[in-house]
Amino acid sequence: MIEDDFYATIKFKSGEEIFAKVAYSEEEDRTFLLLECPIMIEKIKNRGGIQGFRVEPWLKTTKEDLFVVNMEDVLTMSESTDIETIGMHETFSKQQDQLYHPQKKLNRKMGYISTIKEAKKSLEKLYNKS
């Protein structure tokens, strides 16, 4: 059974800290977390004293965006409603999606391109002939 998802900061027993959209699933006697696009956020400061954030994927060598983690590996988890952090996550998630799954432009090799009116006329003509 998978519960509703929510945003959370997760601290693992290994010391890693990530932010992700989380859902949890209970199967038999174990609980698993489903992490969507987990990211690591680091506060940075430039020479001028201006602070910002660096957002990186949790796992850098995969194109996957959904991970299953055993709850036993989690030290603590805190649900987040921070709009700024959620916004950073959503922006990063969209950028990753566009990078790894670019939208293909339609062309004639994919099939016939027409307007809805033209397609409707063509289909009505085929229907009436049968």
pTM exceeding 0.75: no
| Class of residue 9 by CB neighbours under 10 A (exposed 0-12, middle 13-18, buried 19+) | middle
pLDDT at 1: 45
pLDDT tens digits, 108-118:
666 666 677 88
Nearest-angstrom CA–CA distance, 62 and 60 = 6
Cβ neighbour number for residue 96 with a 10 Å cutoff: 15
pLDDT at 92: 87
In this structure, whether the domain defined by 6-129 belongs to CATH 2.30.30.100 is answered with yes
Residue extents of the structural domains in the chain: 6-129
Q: Which two tokens stand for residue 116?
A: 């809805």
pLDDT at 46: 83
